[in-house]
Amino acid sequence: MTGVPLLLVHLVLIVGSLGVLVLCALRLWGQVRATKTAALELKDRAADLATRAGELAGRIESAEVATRLASQAR
């Protein structure tokens, strides 16, 4: 009769270990999804900043041209 309780203990340990493994996998999956979301947001922000930098460079260039033209007109 010692075999049946020992078998039950082993089954509980196996099922418990699998449960812990599933919980760890679910938590990891959530972290991966959060990381992907953050990476996409950063990518969008970087694209927006690149666009703004291009616009500012164009403004600076046109301001420099205007300054040169004004200095040549004097």
The 10s digit of each residue's pLDDT in 59-74 is: 888 888 778 877 887 6
Residue 58 lies in a domain: yes
Alpha helices (H) along the chain: 3-73
Range(s) of the domain holding residue 63 = 46-73
The 10s digit of each residue's pLDDT in 3-59 is: 889 999 999 999 999 999 999 999 999 999 999 999 999 999 999 999 999 999 888
Residue 67 lies in a domain: yes
Residue 21 lies in a domain: no
pTM: 0.60
| Length of the chain as a residue count | 74
Separation of alpha carbons 69 and 30, rounded Å? 58
Q: Which of 28, 32, 8 has its CA nearest to residue 20?
A: 28
How many structural domains is the chain composed of? 1
Separation of alpha carbons 25 and 32, rounded Å? 10
Residue 40 CB neighbour total at 10 angstroms: 10
Residue 27 lies in a domain: no
Residue 32 lies in a domain: no
